[in-house]
Amino acid sequence: MPEHSVSSGSDFTPWPAERAALYRELGYWQGQTFTDWLWERAQRYGASPALVTAERQWNYRDLWQQSGERAQQFTGLGLRPGDAAVLHLPNHPEFFFNFFGLLLAGVRPVLALPAHRHHEITAFVRQTEAQLYIGPDQPVGRELQAQLGNLPLPVRTLLQPLDLDRSAPHRSELQRTDLAAMPTWPGRQQDPDQPAFYQLSGGSTGTPKLIPRTHDDYLYSVRASAEICALSPQTVYLAALPLAHNFLLSSPGSLGTLHVGGQVVIAPQPDPGTCFGLMERYGINMVALVPALLLVWLEAAARRPVPASLAVVQVGGAPLAPEVAAQVPQQLGATLQQVFGMAEGLVNYTRLDGPLPLDTQGFAISPHDEILIVDDDDQPVPDGTPGHLLTRGPYTICGYFRADEHNSRAFTRDGFYRTGDLVTRLADGSLRVTGRSKDQINRGGEKIAAEEIEHALLGAPGVHNAALIGRPDPRLGERSLACIQSADPAAPPSPAELRRYLLDLGLATYKLPDQFEFLTLPRTAAGKVNKRALREHFHARPTQETHDSQ
């Protein structure tokens, strides 16, 4: 397949001066770095539990201490403020120690998902010219270490042991940080209106896009989300989905919980067996799920009651069917909150004191989130009519990292981000997601950029052309179908060969097509592959061949 080209353009597109001044004046942007934010948390909530696992817990002081130790490690490795480091850790306290450690050292983490593999990680390293890869000292991390070591890239690798719960001494008990004096971490000197870290875009194009999020914009979304979701020091938040994802990090997520002095309980796996046990033990009162996981939890709850402590179940990341939404209060004994957000910024919440949100995805965080709903010609549509959602505001980026050409399409001239979502504004002013215009498959909340997989398939032996489309699936919402036009119709490659080919490229397994069909691809009048015709053709047809890539 084609190499990921090193993208070009500016690292960061700042907000126009006028809007930046307004956000400061309104107190949205407070000029605080993550280092100062974490320090404040440690001082304010010192001995309260911050992170909890089945084995142990760490208070706010421990969190500061552990993060500081990692920061020293990174600085010792020669990392400098402004460098990038790919952070690839699963749900484990080490995620936070390394994330904050990088921020304290002034290094910008690239928040890779645990499911990412060689293909994605290499692309992030290349794009950001990352100096460091931090992975788990487990087969996944060791394999990446070997792969990255073979590349002509100056990236170093650091594998963090994840058995600290059992074997390592409690380091912060050995040497306590003096909380009266704030060490001068490089992260303190950074400009709060510059990028703190990079989130990843689900995207629809070939190269994964990086999203620079600033201290100012992200901390605003964290504070405002914590308030909207009524978090308090009594909040016990279960992190079951990947910690690095924007939903789990800041909507209000673990950062929202840490902001107010609550506890983040880290589940290594999202299954009901693991999570219901943690809920019983720690009195968990809030959790964030994707619809596919909610279905699994609802089934489990029919057999094993959910502890009464559970008060709020957030569901987001993919469309939630109203029939499923309706079951939440009864089956899980909790208030349902729908969350419609994106790593690029904008996040919407249904209100906790409102009616049961069956078919609405709520209201934007900020009074200064500007929402435009437009037709194909960028003309506003009346309320109640579906249209393309465009947005700009105090925590929505103005451009992707080094992607000028893509930015000229993804943003309007006025700086509105084209979300690729189709929405309707309802009578109460809330938004309902009605569909999608971007060429992406949302497989149970995991986003697949069609073009990325099509490019990959074009390199496979025997493939003349390829198109990836989504098909409705009762559990995942959508599954992926690869439509293949083979070079020799009499001898097409087998699905097993194609899967093997993609796996060998090092693609995350959730991106492997669930099904393959072999046919002559229909064309539009302009000669492009007619995906609409493909979708219509396969929509009603039963599944031929299924492959569960999970």
Element (H, E) at 52: strand 49-52
Question: Which of 15, 29, 247, 516 touches ligand OOB (CB under 6 A)?
Answer: 247
End-to-end CA distance of the chain: 23
Question: Which of 53, 59, 251, 366 touches ligand OOB (CB under 6 A)?
Answer: 251
**Site size for ligand OOB (CB under 6 A):** 22
SS3 category, 393: coil
300 to 329: interface string for ligand OOB, x by CB under 6 A:
----------------xxxx----------
- Minimal CB distance to ligand OOB: which residue? 341
- Which CB, 125 or 339, lies closer to ligand OOB? 339
Identify residues 407-426 at the interface with ligand OOB (CB under 6 A). Answer: 419, 421
* Count of residues in the chain: 550
Question: Which of 126, 402, 406, 436 touches ligand OOB (CB under 6 A)?
Answer: 436
Q: How far is the CB of 329 from ligand OOB (least distance, A)?
A: 18
- Per the CB < 8 A criterion, the answer to whether 187 and 77 are in contact is no
From residue 374, give the alpha-carbon distance in Å to each of 103, 334, 391: 38, 36, 11
SS (H, E, C) 251-279: CCHHHHHHHHCCEEEECCCCCHHHHHHHH
- Which CB, 122 or 338, lies closer to ligand OOB? 338
Element (H, E) at 114: none
Question: Which of 58, 218, 340, 516 touches ligand OOB (CB under 6 A)?
Answer: 340
Amino acid at 205: T
Q: Quick one: CA dihedral 264, 314, 442, 545, positive or negative?
A: positive
How far apart (Å, rounded) are the C-alpha atoms in residues 287 and 331? 15
Q: How far is the CB of 166 from ligand OOB (least distance, A)?
A: 33
338 contributes a contact to ligand OOB by CB under 6 A: yes
202 contributes a contact to ligand OOB by CB under 6 A: yes
How far apart (Å, rounded) are the C-alpha atoms in residues 316 and 477? 12
Q: How far is the CB of 419 from ligand OOB (least distance, A)?
A: 5
CB neighbourhood size of 30 (10 A): 15
Angle at 478 between CA 342 and CA 239, to 5 degrees: 50
391 contributes a contact to ligand OOB by CB under 6 A: no
- Per the CB < 8 A criterion, the answer to whether 305 and 127 are in contact is no
Question: Which of 341, 357, 415, 492 touches ligand OOB (CB under 6 A)?
Answer: 341
- Which CB, 229 or 279, lies closer to ligand OOB? 229
476 contributes a contact to ligand OOB by CB under 6 A: no
225 contributes a contact to ligand OOB by CB under 6 A: no
- Which CB, 13 or 157, lies closer to ligand OOB? 13
Question: Which of 214, 361, 396, 430 touches ligand OOB (CB under 6 A)?
Answer: 361
How far apart (Å, rounded) are the C-alpha atoms in residues 211 and 546? 34
- Per the CB < 8 A criterion, the answer to whether 411 and 418 are in contact is yes
Q: How far is the CB of 324 from ligand OOB (least distance, A)?
A: 12
Q: How far is the CB of 31 from ligand OOB (least distance, A)?
A: 24
Q: Would you tell me which residues interact with ligand OOB (CB under 6 A)?
A: 202, 246-247, 251, 316-319, 338-343, 347, 361, 419, 421, 433, 436, 442, 447
